[in-house]
Amino acid sequence: MKEYLKLIGFFNSFSDAELDDFSTIAEVVATREMEMIIRENEEGKGLYFVVRGDFEVVKKISGNKYKRLQRLDRGDFFGEMSILNDEKHSASVISRGQGILIFISKKAFHDLSTRNSRFTLKIMKELATILSQRLRHMNLKYGMSVAQLESRF
């Protein structure tokens, strides 16, 4: 497990002892081609980290039509909202081939938080840092799109 965690940039600042502690609550999940890992509008089960494979975040637009929102590969994570709040998934994640994920269930994460709040805080801080980077990126893309539309008129 620790070898997988060391492949994921999220864990670069974690000590070996912290990785060992994290390993006690994490599971390795093997995925198949075209497997739906999480489904839009379903309850979140936990947090996933991509170790190997190609995954897509998709949003249902009508019937069986989906729009790709993002491509995920090693080091990316998804399902974090199930750790942060109890809202349903806002999109689906599909495996584009065989892959390997590290999974932490909501229950395991919350159990860890009662045993080791300092370590849980470190995980939450890393999640918040990456989520804020994603938000900045999306704000930039949105701003560029609006500027492009306004330049047409």
Domains in the chain, please, with CATH?
Answer: 2-151 (2.60.120.10)
Per-residue confidence band for 113, with pLDDT thresholds at 50, 70 and 90: confident
Burial annotation 102-125 (CB, 10 A radius, 16+ → b, else e)? bbbbbebbeebeeeeeebbeebbe
Look at residue 6 and tell me whether its pLDDT is greater than 80: yes
Other CB atoms within 10 Å distance of the CB of residue 145? 10
Residue 27, phi-psi category: left (phi > 0), alpha (psi -120 to 50), beta (remainder): beta
* Structure tokens, 80: 């974090």
Closest CA to 72 of 92, 45, 53: 53
Segment 56-65 shows an average pLDDT of 90
Six-digit token pair at 24? 């006690």
pLDDT (0 to 100) of residue 59: 93
Of the pLDDT bands very low, low, confident and very high (cuts 50, 70, 90), residue 46 is very high
Give the count of beta carbons closer than 10 Å to the beta carbon of residue 2.
13
Q: Is pLDDT at 152 greater than 80 in this prediction?
A: no
pTM for the model stands at 0.82
